[in-house]
Amino acid sequence: MQVTTLGEALYPSPLRYFVSDSLRLAERIIQRPDEKMTDNIAFELAGPREKLFFDAKTTRAGIVTCGGLSPGLNDVIRSLFLELHHAYGVSQVYGFQGGYRGLDPHLGKEPLLLTPELVDDVHKKGGTFLGTSRGPVDTAVAVQNLIDKQINILFVVGGDGTQRGGYELYKEAKRQNYPLAVVGVPKTIDNDIPFVSQTFGYLTAIEEAAKALDRAHVEARCVNNGISLVKLMGRNAGFIAAGATLASQEVNFILVPEVPFKLEGPNGFLAALKKRILDRGHALVVVAEGAGQELLQNNTQLKDASGNILLNDIGQYLSTRIKTFFEDEDIPVHLRYMDPSYLIRSTRANAVDSVLCDLFARNAVHAAMAGKTGLIIGKLHDKYIHVPSELLASRKRVMETDGMLWQGVLASTGQPASFY
């Protein structure tokens, strides 16, 4: 699938290694004997192109970071800047501050002109030094501001919402006939972006979450009938809970949005927890924030500024239900509810994520300099690809319950496939 280009690429690249525009990577590479691969998407491979659309001498680029924090945001900003500056010779790179609102001159602060000194050691800190936010920006105002500031390239670093926003900016620039390259870098600890096998920040987040699980396990083990209940992030997908469970190897029960569960009844979660307590005298339970929402009364459906549904607190709910269940059963337990959610995403990136950030960012620069627009950098089968932003909006990514990750989780916890 070819992504949109702004026009003919005429400028020779200063780089020495190139990837051909005609190479493709198939979305699905495993074929069942009876399967026709007709609807298989073939993605353009990311990488430096021999000819560039933009002349580095006169090009101005902007970077914006949006949505929730994810370890590695500063690494991405730094690598975007350094690739533009050192490899391509683009000297005017601006950091728009405070998320998408920073694109509106009436709402945001003035963008920062990035320099090698400014980005020098930003990757050693968590968060984003440009700031972030949720909530919309008027795309017409934003694009007009980019035109006024003569910005030719905009890197949008963020999750699914940010990339939908990037798609709107791309369409608005096209409508205004302004040749703007909008290129997305996929961020989120939730790891729920389609066509990206691993978003940056996910691995660091599960490393941090696994530390919390190990400590919660110690708390449960050291008392009689200790139950540690830990809530982890994961709005629509249980990747964080599952990854941390496999990393820790101490979890006995895990509840995720992809697998609805019942609390009551002989095959329900509470009966299984009781059995575990009677057999082993302690238990570690992990719940993803998006799990079991169907059990909670949520008629109002409140949303955050970006339009994401505000979830009800499954952790508090489970904690109360477990407490009253064991009281009714007359079994004394030591229940501790822990919510380390925000603590796992505000740290700096680990080494694996830092590598991922660097490669996502440099590929984003290659795409933009070649004049490609309305895309995000994806990663499938260990290859970096160009994913049209439009395509991203049509899909959701959740954990496959018949896949290796969830099956590994079931094997390591020993819990049944479902509580019904």
Ligand X SMILES: O=P(O)(O)OC[C@H]1O[C@](O)(COP(=O)(O)O)[C@@H](O)[C@@H]1O
Closest residue to ligand X, based on beta-carbon distance: 68
Region from 54-62, 72-80, 231-239, 295-303 binding ligand X, contact rule CB under 6 A: 231-239
How far apart are CB 304 and Mg ion at their closest, in Å?
10
Task: Say which entry of ligand X, Mg ion, ligand ADP, none residue 162 contacts (CB below 5 to 8 A, set by partner kind).
Answer: ligand ADP
Sort 299 into a burial class: Cβ within 10 Å, 0-12 / 13-18 / 19+. exposed
How far apart are CB 307 and ligand ADP at their closest, in Å?
6
Region from 73-81, 97-105, 165-173, 228-236 binding ligand X, contact rule CB under 6 A: 228-236
**Residue 161 interacts with Mg ion (CB under 5 A)?**
yes
How far apart are CB 187 and ligand ADP at their closest, in Å?
6
Which of positions 30-59 make contact with ligand X (CB under 6 A)?
none
**What b-and-e string marks burial along 220-239, b requiring 16 or more CB atoms within 10 Å of the CB?**
beeeebbbbbbbbbbbbbbb
Dist CA 371 CA 265 (whole Å):
59
**Residue 99 interacts with Mg ion (CB under 5 A)?**
no
**Residue 339 interacts with ligand X (CB under 6 A)?**
no
Cβ distance to ligand ADP smaller for residue 52 or 80: 80
Q: In what order do the strands lie in the sheet with 226-232?
A: 253-255, 282-288, 226-232, 334-338
End-to-end CA distance of the chain: 42
* Closest of 291, 282, 218, 280 to residue 254, by C-alpha: 291
How far apart are CB 41 and ligand X at their closest, in Å?
24
Task: Say which entry of Mg ion, ligand X, ligand ADP, none residue 135 contacts (CB below 5 to 8 A, set by partner kind).
Answer: ligand ADP
How far apart are CB 85 and ligand X at their closest, in Å?
28
Sort 319 into a burial class: Cβ within 10 Å, 0-12 / 13-18 / 19+. buried
**Residue 75 interacts with ligand X (CB under 6 A)?**
no
> How many of the chain's residues bind ligand X (CB under 6 A)?
14
Cβ distance to ligand X smaller for residue 188 or 319: 188
- How many C-alpha atoms does 292 have within 13 Å on its Cβ side? 26
Q: How far is CA 275 from the centre of its chain?
A: 36
> Which positions lie near ligand ADP, rule CB under 6 A?
66-68, 99-100, 133-136, 158-162, 164-165, 168, 188, 306-308
**Residue 68 interacts with ligand X (CB under 6 A)?**
yes
The residue within the footprint of ligand X, chosen from 164, 345, 348, 386 (CB under 6 A), is 345
**Residue 127 interacts with ligand X (CB under 6 A)?**
no
Q: Which of 21, 190, 353, 358 is catalytic?
A: 190
How far apart are CB 132 and ligand X at their closest, in Å?
9
Secondary structure E strands in 263-342: 282-288, 334-338
**Which residues have C-beta within 8 Å of that of residue 373, sequence separation ≥ 6?**
3, 4, 5, 6, 170, 173, 180, 181, 182, 183
104 has catalytic annotation:
no
Instruction: Give me 35's structure tokens.
Output: 């399967």
Phi then psi for 155, rounded to 5 degrees?
-95, 120
Which are the catalytic amino acids? 190
